[in-house]
């Protein structure tokens, strides 16, 4: 766990580290990734420090995803990109390098060198059923809905 004092994104939010700012409002900031996957790669960062999506307030997430949507549209149009990846990593083994929640906006072009990939694992019908059971309330319901998401 890293403190807000030491967090590199909190330092950017406080203006202690310079950034190539693209967007800023009361709750959210967006700036260019200094080590981009492609030119135009931006990071959308809630100003309030939290580490992963699970410990970020819903209201903060809502604001951040709307900024992500709008900025992704701007990036795609202004850079004449073929497409845009939105990437959000949680945890070191998921590729999260900075322990402050952020969304990557990565413009994509034909024949670029960006790799966002994973290998697929095989699961048979039984294994899929077991997984469904595990992720629902022990199989009592077909699926979760937004009002019965309890962990």
Footprint on this chain of Zn ion (rule: CB under 5 A): 7, 9-10, 49, 100
Q: Which is nearer to Zn ion, 59 or 137 (CB)?
A: 59
* Distance of alpha carbon 118 from alpha carbon 89, whole angstroms: 14
CB 14 within 8 A of CB 4: no
| Min CB(105)–Zn ion separation in Å | 19
Q: Which is nearer to Zn ion, 89 or 136 (CB)?
A: 89
Give the number of C-alpha atoms closer than 13 A to the C-alpha of residue 54, restricted to the C-beta side.
Answer: 6
Q: Which residue of the set 41, 49, 102, 104 is catalytic?
A: 102
**Six-digit token pair at 80?**
């004449």
| Min CB(63)–Zn ion separation in Å | 16
CB 22 within 8 A of CB 105: no
Strand ranges across the sheet with 83-87:
21-24, 28-32, 42-46, 103-108, 83-87
Q: Which is nearer to Zn ion, 11 or 108 (CB)?
A: 11
Q: Which is nearer to Zn ion, 9 or 103 (CB)?
A: 9
Residue nearest to Zn ion (CB): 7
* Distance of alpha carbon 80 from alpha carbon 78, whole angstroms: 6
CB 105 within 8 A of CB 64: no
| Min CB(49)–Zn ion separation in Å | 4
> In the annotation, is 49 catalytic?
no
Query: Among all residues, which ones are annotated catalytic?
Result: 102
């Amino acid at each position: 766990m890293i403190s807000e004092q030491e967090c590199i994104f909190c330092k950017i939010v406080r203006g202690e580290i310079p950034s190539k700012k693209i967007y800023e409002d009361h709750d959210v900031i967006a700036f260019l990734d200094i080590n981009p996957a492609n030119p135009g790669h931006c990071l959308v960062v809630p100003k309030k420090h939290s580490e992963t999506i699970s410990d970020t307030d819903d209201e903060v997430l809502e604001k951040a995803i709307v900024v992500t949507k709008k900025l992704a549209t701007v990036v795609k149009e202004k850079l004449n990109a073929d497409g845009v990846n939105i990437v959000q990593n949680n945890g070191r083994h998921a590729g999260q390098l900075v322990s402050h929640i952020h969304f990557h906006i990565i413009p994509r072009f034909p024949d670029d060198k960006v790799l966002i990939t994973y290998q697929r694992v095989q699961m048979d019908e039984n294994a899929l059923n077991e997984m469904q059971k595990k992720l629902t309330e022990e199989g009592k319901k077909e699926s979760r809905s937004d009002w019965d998401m309890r962990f």
